[in-house]
């Protein structure tokens, strides 16, 4: 996949094109945790999530649906400010 330099290099919407959210949360061994203080609201995590498990709240911050998130870590990998970390599920 081609890397992006700025948020403007990305399409306006998510890259995944699912017609319905699939609840894959039972697969997860790690879950993403978002540090709102470090988040720049660039929405890159929302755009790259292959499961459409990330939505945006009323303030523009990303919110992870743990029912849909399978813990792949793509959101954390693509987050340039480093606002997303993966923590082990208990």
The upper half-sphere exposure of residue 65, i.e. CA atoms within 13 Å in the direction of its Cβ, equals 16
Closest CA to 35 of 58, 9, 61, 11: 61
The total number of structural domains in the chain stands at 1
Read off the CATH number of the domain in which 30 is found: 3.30.70.20
d(CA 51, CA 69): 7
Q: How confident is the model at residue 1 (pLDDT cuts 50, 70, 90)?
A: very low
Confirm whether 2 is domain-assigned.
no
Domain that residue 39 falls in: 7-88
d(CA 83, CA 70): 19
pTM above 0.85, yes or no: no
Q: pLDDT of 8-65, one tens digit each?
A: 766 666 666 656 667 776 778 999 999 999 999 999 999 999 888 999 999 999 999 9
Confirm whether 1 is domain-assigned.
no
């Amino acid at each position: 996949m081609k890397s992006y330099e700025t948020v403007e290099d990305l399409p306006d919407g998510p890259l995944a094109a699912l017609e319905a959210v699939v609840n894959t949360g039972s697969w997860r061994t790690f879950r993403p945790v978002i540090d709102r203080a470090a988040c720049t609201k660039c929405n890159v995590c929302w755009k790259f999530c292959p499961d459409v498990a990330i939505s945006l709240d009323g303030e523009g911050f990303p919110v992870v649906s743990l029912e849909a998130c399978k813990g792949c870590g793509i959101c954390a990998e693509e987050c340039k400010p480093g606002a997303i970390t993966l923590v082990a599920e208990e």
